[in-house]
Amino acid sequence: MLDLAALLSYDPNNSNHDINNFITLIDNGIDTTVNIDSDSNAGGTDVSIHLAGVTGTDLNTMINDGNMVLF
């Protein structure tokens, strides 16, 4: 489980916040990289997390499965 709350300024009650602008998952077929833009200003990646051996998931799946804590 990834607790990303401390890395994000994401507020689910803020209608201007789209979690997809904060977190991007890149699945290369072997591993998945989680790129985090902490303020979602499209100003690049602040933190990148490498999930070794994890494939076939996406952001919504991770959130729905409780594998990612965002706030």
Return residues touching Ca ion (CB under 5 A).
37, 39, 41, 43
Q: Which is nearer to Ca ion, 21 or 57 (CB)?
A: 21
CB of 65 to Ca ion, least distance (A): 26
**Closest CB 8 distance from Ca ion, rounded Å:** 11
In the complex, least distance from residue 23 CB atom to Ca ion, rounded to whole angstroms: 12
What are the CA-CA distances from residue 15 to residues 10, 11, 18, 60, 63 (Å)? 10, 8, 8, 18, 18
The length of the chain, given as a count of residues = 71
Which two three-digit tokens encode residue 14? 């803020």
